[in-house]
Amino acid sequence: MKNDRPSQTTSTMAELPAPLTLEGFSVLHQMFRLRRAEWRGKLETQRRQMVDEAAKALDEMGSREDGQSAVFAGLGHKGDLFLLHFRRGFDELGEAQLAIGKLALSDFLEPTTSYLSVIEIGLYEATVALHARLAEQGIRPGSPQWQKAVEEELAGQRQKIAPRLYPGIPERRYLCFYPMDKKREGDDNWYRLPMEERRRLMHDHGIVGRRFAGQVTQIISGSVGFDDWEWGVDLFADDPLVFKKLVYEMRFDEASASYGRFGPFYVGIRIAPSELHRILAI
C-alpha cells in the first residue's frame, strides 16, 4: 500500500526554510604587510614616486559614485595597510584588485589575507510573515504562485532599503572587521532550528545592536560560498572603545552565546590616500 504521508525528512526541511535575503554591493577586503627591508633599499625619490602614484589611484577609487574604496592603517601584526572596496559586482572587484596589483608600490606589499563577500540583509521577519500568509492561502512552496509572491516581496523590500544595500563607506575614524559563522555542532546547530526560533533570536540580537545606534555603523556581508566563513562584519566608529563594548555585550546575547563562532579581528585607522607617505615612512 502506498504511503502518501510526507516523510520525516520532508516535513523537517519544510519547517527549516532559509530566510529570504537581499544582496547589494560586492565587498573585498585586502590586508597587506609592508616589506620594509626591500622598501628601505629604494631611494627616497623612488619611494615618493611610487607612493604618489598609489595615492592618486586610491583617491580616484575613493571618489567613485558607484562603489568606493577606502584606506586604513592596520594596527598590530596582521597588516600595515588595509584596503576596503565596495563595487557593484565581482567583475568590478576584479578590476579594483588588478588596479592595486599594477601599482609599483604593490611590489613591496605582501598580502596577509583577504576577504570576499556581498552586503546582505536577512529578512527573517518578512520571511516568517510571508510563509504564514501563503500557507493560509494554501499556496505550496515552490509553486509558480509561491515564487511570484516571493519575488514581489523581495522587490518591495529592496525598494525600501536600497540605501542599506548600496552604502558609501562610512566616514568614521576606526574600522573593526571580523568574519563569523553560525555553529553546526551537535545540539548547537543553527541550521536545524525552526525558522520562528531563528527569527526570535535574530530579533533579540538586533535589539542589542540598536543600543549603539549613532555610535557605530555596522555593515554585514554574506560570504557563504565565497570565503572561509559565512559572514563578514564591518564596524565603523569614531571611538574604538565602542567595538569592545558592542562585541562584549553581544557575547551575552543568546544567538551569539549559543551559536556564534568568531574569526580573527582586524582593526584599522582610516587615512586619506594623501597620508600614505606618513604611513609608509621608514
Positions marked catalytic: 178
Helix (H, G, I), strand (E, B) or coil at 259: helix
Pick from 225, 191, 210, 216: which is nearest to 120 by CA?
Answer: 225
Cell matching residue 106: 604593490
Report how far residue 116's alpha carbon sits from residue 226's, in angstroms, rounded to the nearest whole number. 6
Report how far residue 88's alpha carbon sits from residue 48's, in angstroms, rounded to the nearest whole number. 32
Residues in Cβ contact with 226 at an 8 Å cutoff, skipping those fewer than 6 apart: 116, 117, 118
Q: Where do we find the cell 628601505?
A: 40
When computed from its CA atoms, the radius of gyration of the chain, rounded to whole angstroms, is 22
Report how far residue 244's alpha carbon sits from residue 252's, in angstroms, rounded to the nearest whole number. 13
Report how far residue 202's alpha carbon sits from residue 221's, in angstroms, rounded to the nearest whole number. 16
Report how far residue 74's alpha carbon sits from residue 230's, in angstroms, rounded to the nearest whole number. 23
Question: Which amino acid is it at 154?
Answer: L
